[in-house]
Amino acid sequence: MKGLRWLKSSTLWLALLAVSLLIHVMVTWHASRSIVAPLAERDAEVEEVEVLLDVADPPEQEKLVFEDNIEFEPPAILVPSSALKPPPPDVNLAMEAAAGGSTDTGFAAPLLSSEPATGGQGVAGFGLGTGTGLEASANRFAAYVQGLRETGLDVVFVVDTTGSMEWVLTEVNARIIDIVDAVRLLVPISRFGVVAYRDYGEPGYVTKLQPLTYSLNKLARFLGQLSAEGGGSHQEAVYDGVKVAVNESGWRLGAKKVIIVLGDAPPHKEAVKPLLSVNKAFAREGGQISALDVSRDANPALLEATLGRPVNRAFYSGKPMLDYQLLAEAGGGIASTLDGDVKITRHLMSLIMGGQFAREMALLLEGL
């Protein structure tokens, strides 16, 4: 009986195990079908997208067509009006200097501006050999002018218009066109302005301004309206004239800024310190202030020309007055006299171009 009972029990468990395995296999098979089918559909979708991408052609890009370069011609006001012969295109004024030549123009270098000449074996310009050392100076001048052509040049004349300056106003009026034309041969994009100054309590004005302009007509008209009046005191309103030039002339951003003080009397003593302060600030911003002393003490030749006879030059300094030297030093410029020449045109030109290129400017200005 026990053996029969054990056999029935074993048979029952085996039947249950078989049924369980069968159920497990069926459930697993069904589950695998539900998982594989979505994957197959997704693969089909991916393949379909890939086929679409493969057959799509890239869009055709539109070709760019550029117009010809625009030919720009600067305004006529920038073109010199006098029939002066221009320098070579690269402004390399080595000319006679590089070849060892010289010129007898009666034009001397301004004070503190002479280039030291060298001789014997050494470097002259960019080559080895015997020379005067002038070629290097000429090449520096060419590089300086090229820099001005790229940035532009703004020049303001600060002119004493008291009674003793009548002859200066007459000459500046007569030669302003020549001065502007000569500068624009080197730097076509140049502007010019004028500040006239007198003294406190003088008739008409203390300062009078023509802002920087390209127009020769405006410049000539302003100068033509000036007259030399008043004066009599030893000191003039130099500080006021320079301050107006620095603050109100309308300087261009990036252009080379040059101020030239033209007078025969010093500033008031109490104004010297603020004048030097203004000049130093202007120099720090890239500007330059120079001075041309046309007083009789600095220019005995001028007095001789006026009197028509020689004078004892031992009684005259023959140098710029001390205040003008300090003024120019603070402004990073040059203090100069006429040095025996009663014409101011070439001296103004030299100061406009920095003062340190007197030899090159003498070659260029032989006709002035």
CB atoms within 10 A of CB 15: 10
Residue 18 has pLDDT above 90, yes or no: no
Q: Give the Cα separation of 38 and 57 in Å (integer).
A: 31
Q: Give the Cα separation of 364 and 107 in Å (integer).
A: 11
Q: Give the Cα separation of 104 and 366 in Å (integer).
A: 9
Sheet containing 190-197: order of strands: 207-213, 190-197, 153-160, 256-263, 287-293, 332-337
Query: What percent of the chain is modeled with pLDDT above 70?
Result: 64
DSSP codes joined into one string, 98-134: HTT-----S--PPTT-PPPP--SEEEETTEEEE--SH
Inter-residue contact 183 to 221 (CB < 8 Å)? no
CB atoms within 10 A of CB 305: 12
Looking at per-residue pLDDT, the higher value among 207 and 13 belongs to 207
3-class DSSP state of 194:
strand
Looking at per-residue pLDDT, the higher value among 66 and 109 belongs to 66
Q: Give the Cα separation of 142 and 351 in Å (integer).
A: 16
Q: Give the Cα separation of 289 and 157 in Å (integer).
A: 10
What are the tens digits of pLDDT across the range 198-209? 999 887 899 999
**What is the rounded average pLDDT of the residues 298-303?**
69
3-class DSSP state of 7:
helix
Looking at per-residue pLDDT, the higher value among 242 and 64 belongs to 242
Q: Which residue's entry shows tokens 């140049």? A: 190
Q: Give the Cα separation of 128 and 138 in Å (integer).
A: 16
CB atoms within 10 A of CB 153: 24
- Claim: this prediction has a pTM higher than 0.95: no
Structure confidence at residue 114 as a pLDDT band (50, 70, 90): very low
Inter-residue contact 320 to 298 (CB < 8 Å)? yes
Q: Give the Cα separation of 228 and 170 in Å (integer).
A: 10
Give residue 7's pLDDT. Answer: 74
Phi/psi class of residue 244: alpha, beta or left (left: φ > 0; alpha: ψ in -120 to 50)?
Answer: alpha
3-class DSSP state of 366:
coil
Residue 249 has pLDDT above 70, yes or no: yes
Residue 87 has pLDDT above 50, yes or no: no
| CATH, range 80-364 | 3.40.50.410
Give residue 40's pLDDT. Answer: 53
Residue 90 has pLDDT above 80, yes or no: no
Using alpha carbons, select from 176, 186, 242 the residue that is nearest to residue 357.
186
**Torsion from C-alpha of 132, 96, 92, 76, nearest 10 degrees:** 150
Looking at per-residue pLDDT, the higher value among 32 and 110 belongs to 32
Name the H helices within 56-88: none
Using alpha carbons, select from 245, 238, 263, 259 the residue that is nearest to residue 167.
263
Mean pLDDT, the chain, whole residue set:
75
Residue 278 has pLDDT above 80, yes or no: yes
What are the tens digits of pLDDT across the range 122-181? 333 334 444 455 566 678 888 888 999 999 999 999 999 998 899 889 888 888 888 898
Cα distances (angstroms) measured from residue 327 to each of 266, 272, 274, 283: 10, 8, 11, 11
Inter-residue contact 130 to 146 (CB < 8 Å)? no
Q: Give the Cα separation of 195 and 116 in Å (integer).
A: 35
Q: Give the Cα separation of 309 and 317 in Å (integer).
A: 18
**What is the rounded average pLDDT of the residues 320-335?**
93
Looking at per-residue pLDDT, the higher value among 98 and 259 belongs to 259
Range with lowest mean pLDDT among 87-96, 156-165, 290-299, 336-345: 87-96
Inter-residue contact 325 to 151 (CB < 8 Å)? no
Q: What are phi and psi of 335, to 5 degrees?
A: -105, 130
Range with lowest mean pLDDT among 11-20, 62-71, 318-327: 62-71
Query: What percent of the chain is modeled with pLDDT above 90?
Result: 34
Give residue 80's pLDDT. Answer: 42
Helix H or strand E segment including 334: strand 332-337
Residue 39 has pLDDT above 60, yes or no: no
Residues in the chain: 368
